[in-house]
Amino acid sequence: MLRLGNREFGPDERVIMAIVNRTPDSFYDRGATFRDEPALARVEQAVAEGAAIIDIGGVKAGPGEEVSAEEEARRTVGFVAEVRKRFPDVVISVDTWRHEVGEAVCEVGADLLNDAWGGVDPLLAEVAARYGVGLVCTHAGGVEPRTRPHRVGYDDVMADILRVTLGLAERAVELGVRRDAILIDPGHDFGKNTRHSLEATRRLDEMTATRWPVLVSLSNKDFVGETLDRPVKERLLGTLATTAVSAWLGAQVYRVHEVAETRQILDMVSSIAGHRPPAVARRGLA
């Protein structure tokens, strides 16, 4: 059982985490939700389309203009408070690697800290423990935040993913983070080339076999673009194919831009797996 905020998710429940970027330079939406009203409209739409988790980020993952912890907090804290007020039942996640920002967003109602950079700030897990919130433990290949991988190599990429994410998860438990509020993430594209990310996807069942809930962040990423030779705005089909494979291999949470399309993919996989009845069943019954 995965418990985040006031929500509980069963082991066969596939959960959507909708991305809301509070940045003027995000790689996908180019700042479409930087201002409050478009961002709140995005939250409303995502919840209506089936997202149970909203992931709010104040710094884009890739290289770019320096964003201080103070500026990151300015972009996220007030917005988290407003989302908490307007959507009391949604799980609020904040994508940050900084403990200062983590503490500030937890004060106003965040339920989950999404540490995409693999514990580079070890105090972030302590914040999660102190506030009783969840934590995402990600494999990022040991790279510094907001840097791209360069000639990165692994003897066995999945072995390294398991070593790092399980180590971060067990450390979080030792610090006092609830075991049922921790997720592990293979970190597609983070500290990896395209072949690494494809292998991580192909071997995702090795992560799900650990019984930790697995989060995947696949949406429109570079490994999809390179695999199919498609620009950012033409990666939806590749993303959905990767999503279906990940769902079949047992991933539980999906961090996405396109909620409605992802919801259909996940529901279809759940029904094929026997975890969800068809929404309508008339064929051959009349």
User: Which residues carry out catalysis?
Assistant: 221, 255
Question: What is the SS3 string spanning the chain?
Answer: CEEECCEEECCCCCEEEEEEECCCCCCCCCCCCCCHHHHHHHHHHHHHCCCCEEEEECCCCCCCCCCCHHHHHHHHHHHHHHHHHHCCCCEEEEECCCHHHHHHHHHCCCCEEEECCCCCCCHHHHHHHHHCCEEEEECCCCCCCCCCCCCCCCCCHHHHHHHHHHHHHHHHHHHCCCHHHEEEECCCCCCCCHHHHHHHHHCHHHHHCCCCCEEEECCCCHHHHHHHCCCHHHCHHHHHHHHHHHHHCCCCEEEECCHHHHHHHHHHHHHHCCCCCCCCCCCCCC
Structure tokens belonging to residue 128: 């999660």
94: CB partners within 8 A, 6+ apart: 55, 56, 57, 58, 76, 80, 101, 102, 105, 110, 112, 113, 114
* C-alpha neighbours within 13 Å on the C-beta side of residue 264: 6
